[in-house]
A and B are shown apart, each in its own frame.
Chain A
């Protein structure tokens, strides 16, 4: 297409319906959340004026009864869970993707599809299956009891470890796929050269392999960390009542507690975390592209 034709190109109109839809059902709702987070809870659960930053003060720990770190703790716990899930996924995804990349072409496609399939089966179903697998008197729980991790007769579910298991099982494909995209393109001659020059296994990985797979690892990390931080179904079903996290705290404010402005403030915190995560990901991967 020449320059004149390009200037006459009116095809951008094609984007209008899609952008319009996202404007209406994504941007406006997120703006509504932002606005409501500065409002006051009404007597019967609605919301209205006056404008206030009380919701954010409460989130930061200043409640009516003085300083109470309940919500900072919930937030920290959610971030820790998201981070921990991402780290565990990384530790499993690296050997997994190297294994898949080492397979022949046909088997590679099968192995990759096998990673994808659980990802497309209902999360609720998989999560309650873990309830069965980790419940009292399941053989996993009995093995854990025999190894002394839990006392006999107890189940691994409900507990933190159950949440961690459920989270890793759910999010692993999100890490493995972008990581695989990098691992597949890996230039092994660099690793071989480093080895020939006397680098040990760790040095080869650190200096010849890691820089090549870093973009995939960073993308995978963000793809796991962000949704995992706000996950609410898995902690809800596997953690029991003990594990308050950002996701179920938001759900609770919009459900039983009917404190929508406070719930909206929490959702805004979730959005800020998301924005920061995406920003960091783009920064790191752009630096990489620039050869730094």
Chain B
């Protein structure tokens, strides 16, 4: 058994080709002059131009951004405080909370989505709240975002030197001051990385948005789904290319922040 072998590297290169083939296809076709089919008919930026003129896309983009920004802000706050409580303060009930946090990660999307659909239905019936729309989509997104934020922030907390907190305390800082001037600044890269992860998760989510949304709250993935069902136009390629570019940039930035050492 060798560390590296031609077999491993061949498979690895094939895997990369396999992972990137669909992405390459979409990007290439977004610049293809042909309206349908898989033939190359020269380059064009027409689809991007049409995309920016498409009102449905614009409103879906608006909905997606509102949902992503709001849910990410909420999840960043809730996930961070939960991570702090779990790593530093809680002694009992940790296992239960860990289990609770595992559920949104492992449960099939569709199960969470129909559970929320049922729950919102009951709430509407009993308390006249949670009409399906932006609010319900945001609530659903926050639910699956919290575990990911908490995970990233906890990893950051675990890597932090407890002596820093102690030093601040020994120098007479109140718990509030320790948090404000020591813990929070050190934690910030983790919170930002977790928030970016949460943001891309929200932007990419289809299933929960599909079930928790109402008319007038169509997110981009839901719009793409209905377009795929109707037959894809090259505008969708252009839209997808832009979406991918945003996700890739957000991911790379998040990873760079996460890799920065705790000093």
Contacts and interface: CB of A to CB of B under 8 A. Distances in A.
Contacts of B22: 118, 125-127, 129-130, 133, 169
B262 interface: no
A109 interface: yes
Contacts of A33: 111, 114-115, 118
A281 to B, nearest CB: 9
Contacts of B101: 22
A120 interface: yes
B247 A120 contact: yes
A271 to B, nearest CB: 6
B1 A125 contact: no
A251 B255 CA distance: 35
Given A250-B114, A270-B111, A277-B106, A18 B3 contact: no
A51 B68 CA distance: 40
Contact of B110 (A129, A132, A267): A267
Interface string B3-29: 111011111100110111111011001
Contacts of A172: 15, 19
Contacts of A16: 85
Interface string B92-123: 00000100111111111111101111110010
Interface string B185-214: 000000000000000100110110001000
Contacts of A208: 1
A147 interface: no
A120 B251 contact: yes
A120 B108 contact: no
A14 B244 CA distance: 35
A226 B81 contact: no
A260 to B, nearest CB: 7
A60 interface: no
B186 to A, nearest CB: 16
Nearest to A195: B1
A18 B115 contact: no
Nearest to B116: A29
A22 B146 contact: yes
B108 A19 contact: no
A188 B211 CA distance: 49
Nearest to B1: A204
Contacts of B79: 18
Given A121-B244, A263-B114, A226 B108 contact: yes
A256 interface: no
B103 A125 contact: no
Given A11-B85, A138-B38, A126 B78 contact: no
Contacts of B23: 118, 121, 126, 129
Given A11-B89, A120-B247, A123-B206, A102 B143 contact: no
Given A99-B8, A264-B118, A129 B26 contact: yes
A201 B1 CA distance: 5
Given A14-B81, A19-B100, A29 B110 contact: no
Given A102-B8, A126-B23, A117 B117 contact: no
Task: Give the contact-size bracket for chain B.
Answer: 35 or more
B12 A96 contact: yes
B115 A274 contact: no
B57 interface: no
A8 B11 CA distance: 56
A179 interface: no
B142 interface: yes
Interface string A60-100: 00000000000000000000000000000000100110111
Given A26-B112, A247-B108, A250-B110, 8 more contacts: A12-B91, A28-B119, A95-B10, A120-B200, A125-B22, A227-B109, A254-B114, A267-B115
24 contacts: A10-B89, A11-B84, A15-B81, A15-B97, A18-B81, A19-B82, A21-B146, A33-B111, A99-B12, A117-B248, A122-B240, A122-B244, A125-B22, A125-B224, A125-B244, A126-B26, A128-B232, A168-B18, A191-B1, A209-B1, A226-B108, A227-B106, A263-B114, A271-B111
Interface of B: 1, 3-5, 7-12, 15-16, 18-23, 25-26, 29, 38, 77-79, 81-82, 84-86, 88-91, 97, 100-112, 114-119, 122, 139-140, 142-143, 146, 150, 166, 200, 203-204, 206-207, 211, 221, 224-225, 228, 232, 236, 240, 243-244, 247-248, 250-252, 255, 259
Interface of A: 1, 6, 9-19, 21-22, 25-30, 32-33, 36, 92, 95-96, 98-102, 109, 111, 113-118, 120-133, 135, 137-138, 168-169, 172-173, 188, 191, 195, 201, 204-205, 208-209, 222-223, 226-227, 229-233, 237, 246-247, 250-251, 254, 260, 263-264, 267, 270-271, 274, 277-278
